[in-house]
Structure 1
Amino acid sequence: MPSIFSYQSAEVDWCEGNFERSTVIAEYYNTISNVSFFVLSPALLYLNRQYRQHRALPMYVVSGLLFCVGIFSMYFHMTLSYVGQLLDELSILWTLAVAYSFWYPRVYFPRKHFFWLSGVTTVISTLMSFIKPAFNAYVLNCIAFHLLYLTWCELKKVHRMAAVMVLWWVLAISSWISDRWLCGLWQAINFPYFHSFWHVLIAMSLLYCCPLVIYFDVSYEMPSFKPKLEYWPSDSWPVVVPYVTLEEPHKQC
């Protein structure tokens, strides 16, 4: 029986050919495309620095966990080991759980009840990762439907950023599904790289999703401030990166 740390001991093997471009990296492009997560974390911290001054803990914790997602995903695709698969899926699961616990609006669910619900759900999903990790990967992606529902509920407030976030997510999940379900086609035309696109596109989606969540968090949890959306490098550019600034609270006479 192979060790759980052994190369190619995972249940999942993505469409990209193994060891075609390196003798030590199983899926070369799926591995290096995770650099997008290493850019994502510091970019979120830097662009949303004004919010970070008031809510440092969620910003540092979630950004740190996103960095860990990149590390574990890189390790998984480099080795295709069972341990790598578990670390990859569990890092995504716990990043989502922590982000929900920090930023889920109280207006939609009482905070105490929500902590219990999210905690139980996270524990069950963690156990499922050990029982059936391949199935758990599909479940993790389904969380996006709830995020899309929340986005739809608040769409009129931040229409542009929400719309672009949804676009990036649709492209990302399309790449993920294409690599999983149409692998034979992509291998036939010698282009098995859609899972690499998934890494980059989902990082771009998160670059829009996190400021969106921050915007709502300021609106609901910091009523003395007014959130304002800004775009880097300029609002007039066709491709921009959003971030949140806070208008100073009004002075009381």
Structure 2
Amino acid sequence: MPSVFSYLSSEIDWCEGNFKRSAVIAEYYNTISNVSFFILSPALLYLNRQYCKQRTFPLYFVCALLVCVGIFSSYFHMTLSYVGQLLDELSILWALAAAYSFWYPKVYFPRCIKSRKHFFWLSGVITVVSTFLSFMKPALNAYVLNCIAFHLLYLTRKELKKCNDKRVHRTAKIMIMWWVLAITSWISDRWLCGLWQMINFPYFHSFWHVLIAMSLLYCCPLVIYFDVTYEMPSFKPKLEYWPSDSWPVAVPYVELEQSHKQC
């Protein structure tokens, strides 16, 4: 029986050919495309530094977990090992759990949850149980994790109904555009592999890594915006764009202004 650390011991094998461009990297482009996560975290921290000064721990912690996602995803695609697959998927699960724990609006808490502390415990229990369940049928883990995006889209829709800020709506639309492109790439690589191999272009999973990072680059400032609205009433959040509003492609970030006024 092969070791769980062995190359190709995972049930999952993406469309890109194995060891085509390197003797030690199973899926070359799927591995190197994870550099997007190493760029994402420092970009979020730098652009949203005003928020970090007020609430230091949440964004730093989530960004550290996103770096772990990049590390473990690189390891998985380099080896296609069973352990690599689980580390990749569990790092995503725990990053999502941390984001929910810190930023899930209190107005959506279950009625039995009376405080953020209780919600932390609920999130922790669910995450630990989900971690153990992930060992039962690892081939399904990626599908379950992707389904969480639909809940995030549902929450975004509910928040947008309360907000008339055009920049918020613009950012949400761009975030959804990147997510649609990302999930289309993921599904294409998973379900249409034969087609892409026929035309010698089996690289859509590497596109997924870059596109989902782009989606998160827009998602995180939105989450921060609503967190300031709910949790920091002495500030008014304002979405700005780097390097400039006039650029056709610009990255959003949150500035904090005194004298909060409801969106």
**TM-score for the superposition, normalised by structure 1:** 0.96
Indicate whether 1:85 and 2:93 are aligned.
no
Match of 1:162 among 172, 175, 178: 172
Aligned match of 1:215? 225
- Residues 69, 92 of structure 1: 8 Å contact kept: yes
- Residues 125, 136 of structure 1: 8 Å contact kept: no
Letter of the structure 1 residue corresponding to residue 137 of structure 2: K
Return the alpha-carbon distance in structure 2 between the equivalents of residues 34 and 117 of structure 1. Answer: 31
Letter of the structure 1 residue corresponding to residue 216 of structure 2: L
SS of residue matched to 1:230: strand
Indicate whether 1:237 and 2:247 are aligned.
yes
Aligned match of 2:198? 188
Aligned match of 2:258? 248
Indicate whether 1:3 and 2:10 are aligned.
no
Aligned match of 2:187? 177
- Alpha-carbon distance, 1:123 to partner: 1.8
Match of 1:123 among 98, 119, 128: 128
Aligned match of 2:154? 149
Letter of the structure 2 residue corresponding to residue 76 of structure 1: F
- Residues 94, 122 of structure 1: 8 Å contact kept: yes
- Residues 173, 198 of structure 1: 8 Å contact kept: yes
Identity of aligned residues (%): 83
Return the alpha-carbon distance in structure 2 between the equivalents of residues 178 and 67 of structure 1. Answer: 26
The structure 1 segments of at least 4 consecutive aligned residues displaced by more than 6 Å after TM superposition are none
Aligned match of 2:48? 48
SS of residue matched to 1:223: coil
- 1:57-136 paired onto structure 2 within 5 Å: 57-109=57-109, 110=113, 111=116, 114-136=119-141
Return the alpha-carbon distance in structure 1 between the equivalents of residues 63 and 259 of structure 2. Answer: 27
Return the alpha-carbon distance in structure 2 between the equivalents of residues 185 and 48 of structure 1. Answer: 42
Cα RMSD between the aligned structures? Answer: 1.2
- Alpha-carbon distance, 1:115 to partner: 3.3
Letter of the structure 1 residue corresponding to residue 151 of structure 2: H
- Alpha-carbon distance, 1:118 to partner: 2.4
Letter of the structure 1 residue corresponding to residue 38 of structure 2: F
Return the alpha-carbon distance in structure 1 between the equivalents of residues 85 and 159 of structure 2. Answer: 35
- Alpha-carbon distance, 1:146 to partner: 0.4
Q: Summarize deviations over 1:29-76 as a string: whole Å, max 9, x none.
A: 000000000000000000000000001100110010000100000000
- Alpha-carbon distance, 1:108 to partner: 1.2
Return the alpha-carbon distance in structure 2 between the equivalents of residues 113 and 175 of structure 1. Answer: 38
- Residues 232, 243 of structure 1: 8 Å contact kept: yes
- 1:27-42 paired onto structure 2 within 5 Å: 27-42=27-42
- Residues 176, 194 of structure 1: 8 Å contact kept: yes
Match of 1:140 among 145, 155, 179: 145
Return the alpha-carbon distance in structure 2 between the equivalents of residues 236 and 173 of structure 1. Answer: 28
Structure 1 runs not aligned, ≥5 long: none
SS of residue matched to 1:130: coil
Aligned match of 1:26? 26
- Residues 33, 196 of structure 1: 8 Å contact kept: yes
Structure 2 runs not aligned, ≥5 long: none
Return the alpha-carbon distance in structure 2 between the equivalents of residues 181 and 124 of structure 1. Answer: 29
Q: Summarize deviations over 1:150-175 as a string: whole Å, max 9, x none.
A: 11112253200001001100100010
Return the alpha-carbon distance in structure 2 between the equivalents of residues 47 and 38 of structure 1. Answer: 15
